[in-house]
Structure 1
Amino acid sequence: METVELLQCMPMFRELNQDELFRIGQVVIERRFYKKTYIFHEGESKEAVYFIKEGLVKTFKTDENGHEQIMSFLKRGEMFPHTGLFHNKPYPATAEALLDTVLLAIPVKSFESLLLEAPSMAIKIMNVMSDKIQELQGKVQELTGQDVQDRGHSFILKLAEYYGTVKGDEIHIPLPMTHQDIANVIGTTRETVTRLLNQLRKARILDADRRGFVIHNPEGLRNWKKR
C-alpha cells in the first residue's frame, strides 16, 4: 500500500485510479544510491525509468571536450528520463545522485507490457506527458528571451521556488553547485556567474558556497536589477 500511496503523489500518475496504481506498484523496484554516485550514463541501454522517492538527482550531457551541460535538477516526485517510454533509444543523458537518494525504478519492458494490456492507462499517462513537454518548451522559450545575467537571476529564483526551505526570514537551498555548474545550466562562463553572485552577495541578498545557497533577502532577490 505504501508504494501505491507514493505513486499517487507522482505527477505522472495523477490521473490513474487505485486499481491502475496497484498494477504499476507490482512492477516497481526500490533502489538506493549514495551521494555522488551515478544512476546511469549517457548512451547506456535503457532498462528502467525512475521516480524520486527521496533525494536529489542531476542529469547532464557531456560534450566531446568533456564539458558538462546540465539538463535538470530533479527532486521528490519527479520522473527521469522524460523520454524514457515508448521507444528503445539509450539513456539521453547521465544521471547522478547529488544527495543520498531513494528511487522507484520501473523496468521499461514490464511497464510497456502493462500499458499494452491497459490502453486507457496509457492514454492518461500520455496526456500528462504532453503537459510536461509543453512546460519544458515554455522554459526553453523563457531562457532564450533573456540575456545572461537575467538567466542567472531567473535560475536562482527557480531554485528558491522548487528546492528552497524557509527558515525564519531566509530561504535555504541545500543544492551543492559550483560556479561552473551554474554556468553550464544557463549557458555562460564561470566568470560571469562569479560576477553575478558577487553582486548579490555585496547587496546582502544571498551567500553561496559548495553546500548550496542562503537567500537572506528573498524580496530583494525578486526585485533585484542587474548592475
Structure 2
Amino acid sequence: MRRENKDTAAEFLQQFPIFQDLSPEELKQVEDIAISRNIHKKTVIFAEGSEKEAVFFIRTGIVKAYKTDENGHEQIVSFLKTGDMFPHTGFFNAHPYPATAEAITPAELIAIPVRLFERLMLNTPAIAIKIMRVLGDKIRELQDKLQVLSGQDVRNRVLSFLLMLAEQHGQPSGHKIIINLPMTHQEFANSIGTTRETANRLLNQLTKENLLEVDRKQIIIHDLQALKHQRDT
C-alpha cells in the first residue's frame, strides 16, 4: 500500500475509539485480518442494498455516503474523512449496506472483513463490548443531528450544515475557516434535503453578505461567529 502515513495499520486502527483499549496482542489480531485498499476518485466502494462484506477505515481521502429514493434522487447521509469508520453498524447485523459509499477524492482505506472480525470477537468478547459502546454513542449523535435538521427551516439547515462542515472539516487560516471538500451544489442540497436552486439562492445570499465563498473544491467561511449568530437568532 502507498504510504502517505508512516504509521502501521495497527497504529492507525488504534486511533479509533473502538480499538484504543486493546492490548498489543489483540490489536495485532485485528491487523492480521485487515486489508489495505487504494481507491480512485468517483469509485463506488459499496452500493446501497448490496451484501455487507467489510467495514472500512479511512487513512486518507474523503468519502460520501448517500441513499437513493424511489425517484433516483440522492440524499447524502454524511461526508467521511480521514479517521472515520463506515458503515457504523457494519459489524453487528446481517443487513445489506444501508447506503452507497463513493470516494469523492482518491482515498486510502483499511477494510476489515465482517465475517473474519465476527470470528475474532467470538474469541475476544472485550472487543465486541467496546465497539457496541461506540455504536451507541454514534446512534445518539445521528439522532441529535436528524432532530436538529428536521426542526429547522431551510435557511437554518444551511447554516447548521455549514457550521458542522466547519467543525468536522474546517482548517483555520487567519480569521477564516477553509473547508477543503469537493462538493457540488447538488450534493450540498442533498445533504440538507432541499433543491439545488434553493441551496444556490441561500449560498449566494450568504456570499453577498460576505460571510463565505463557495466553489466546487472548497468553502471559505469569512465570519464563523456571524454564521452562528444568524443560526441562533
- Cα distance in 2 for residues equivalent to 1:224 and 1:141: 19
Structure 2 residue 48 is matched with structure 1 residue 42: yes
* Contact 1:11 1:77 (8 Å CA) reproduced: no
Any idea what SS the aligned residue of 2:18 has? helix
Matches for 1:156-195 after TM superposition, within 5 Å = 156-195=162-201
CA contact (8 A) 2:19 2:127 kept: no
Tell me if 1:64 matches 2:74: no
**Greater Cα offset, 9-18 or 148-157:** 9-18
Structure 1 residue 24 corresponds to structure 2 residue 35 = no
The CA deviation at 1:214 is 1.1
Letter in 2 for 1:108: V
SS state at 1:135 partner: helix
> For 1:225 and 1:12, how far apart are their aligned partners in 2?
34
Aligned residue number for residue 205 of structure 2: 199
Amino acid across the alignment from 2:112:
I
2:79 matched to 1:73?
yes
Return structure 1 stretches of 4+ with deviation > 6 angstroms.
none
1:94 maps to 2:100: yes
Counterpart residue identity of residue 133, structure 2: N
Question: Normalized against structure 2, the TM-score is what?
Answer: 0.92
Q: What's the offset of the Cα at 1:217?
A: 2.2
The one-character-per-residue Cα deviations of 1:104-154 (angstroms, maximum 9, x if unpaired) are: 100111000000111122112111111111111111111122111111100
TM-score under structure 1 length normalisation: 0.94
Aligned to 1:221: 227
Deviation at residue 97 of structure 1 after TM alignment: 0.5
Secondary structure of 2:33's counterpart equals coil
Percent of matched pairs sharing the same residue: 55
SS at match of 1:46: coil
Q: How much does 1:226 deviate?
A: 9.4
Deviations 1:176-205 (A, max 9, x none): 222221221111122221121111101111
How many Å apart are 1:225 and its aligned residue? Answer: 5.4
Shift of residue 52, structure 1, vs aligned partner? 0.6
Give the one of 105, 127, 136 matched to 1:130. Answer: 136
Out of 1, 12, 15, the position equivalent to 1:6 is 12
Aligned partners of 1:188, 1:226: CA distance in 2, in Å?
21
Structure 1 runs not aligned, ≥5 long: none
Q: Secondary structure of the equivalent of 1:26?
A: helix
Deviation, 1:5, is 1.0
1:87, distance to aligned residue in structure 2 (A): 1.9
Determine which of 149, 154, 157 is the counterpart of 2:155.
Answer: 149
Give the match for residue 60 of structure 2. 54
Paired position in structure 1 for 2:146: 140
SS in 1 for 2:89: coil
Report the residue type matching 1:54 in the other structure. Answer: T
Q: CA deviation at 1:218?
A: 2.3
1:119 equivalent among 125, 131, 134: 125
